[in-house]
Amino acid sequence: MDIVYHPGVNGSDPWVEFYPYTPSASAGYAFVAIFGISTIVHLVLMFPFRAAYFIPLMLGGICEAFGYYGRAWSHESRTEIKSWALQEMLIMCSPPLIAATVYMVLGRVIRSFDAEHLSSMRVKWLTFVFVMNDVLTFCTQLGGAGVQVTGDAKVMDIGKKVVLAGLIFSLVVFALFIYITAKFHRRLQQMPTPLINHNPGLHWQRYMVAIYVSCFALMLRNLVRTIQFGAGRTADVNTKEAYIYVFDAFLMFLTMLVLMVYHPGRLIKKARYLTKMGMFDERMGERNSAHILLADTEMGQR
């Protein structure tokens, strides 16, 4: 962790040095633009795909944008608590929001394929359990980052431990989610549902890969953050700002980008349409069979 508490000397006021380096203003503003544009694109895509479950991801994108604005602002002063608090709280709290959308995506994909029997956990509980775990992670990140703005050395140390516990917990949750996702994926390959058998053009596996990429990006980000909070001030991960942008900012953007290019809403919408058309064709077939039977009966009577 890169915070150093300096007690007052000879009656002077205590102060906190939040960074061992001067944060880059240009890098901060660049990612403000990147996350701002990404969030707007997801907002636009939400309407044609009826993907309201992407709202948490968009909130996460907004948090990322304002968080990196805080880092750009911190370029003016390494001891300014307002700018540090803004970036610390928002950048730490945005990944759980983005992860919540990933959790909900899997449940909707399973339902759209009518493949609930292939999931190792009921879809209702799958979404509920992982989103609730994500809420818990969000609260620990928010609380742990929030108490650090007090400037009190003891309280800040407690906040660091709370954030570290939340990060470790999130790694465990992600590992379990990826296991459940991979197990469902394998079963669906071995026992494809009628929708998949009759519609090879769905290309559904691309979207599963998008989910994996999102999860691994989030996991790697949390792993590096865990190392950061557990390492000392002199460790490279805390003394070089590049780690923040490579293993946090870029990975969060990658998550938003892959879900933008392979938007699950497109797959879900198409699957629901094909299911509806299949049911329509089936009903039409039944009606045609009934008409033929009735016609045969009438011909027999004549």
* 194-202: average pLDDT: 86
Res 110 pLDDT > 60: yes
Specify if 279 maps to a domain. Answer: no
Specify if 123 maps to a domain. Answer: yes
Domain count, the chain: 1
CATH number, domain with residue 77: 1.20.1070
Specify if 297 maps to a domain. Answer: no
**Whole-angstrom distance, CA of residue 92 vs CA of residue 86:** 10
Angle in degrees, CA 82, 164, 242, rounded to 5:
60
pLDDT value of position 70? 94
Res 277 pLDDT > 60: yes
Specify if 301 maps to a domain. Answer: no
Q: Which domain holds residue 252?
A: 4-266
Give the confidence band of 153 by pLDDT, cuts at 50, 70, 90.
Answer: low
Specify if 145 maps to a domain. Answer: yes
Specify if 171 maps to a domain. Answer: yes
Specify if 272 maps to a domain. Answer: no
Long-range own/partner contacts, residues 181-189 (CB < 8 A, 24 or more apart): 181/106, 181/208, 181/211, 181/212, 181/215, 182/212, 183/120, 184/106, 184/110, 184/115, 184/118, 184/119, 184/120, 187/118, 188/113, 188/115, 188/118
Specify if 33 maps to a domain. Answer: yes
Structure pTM? 0.84
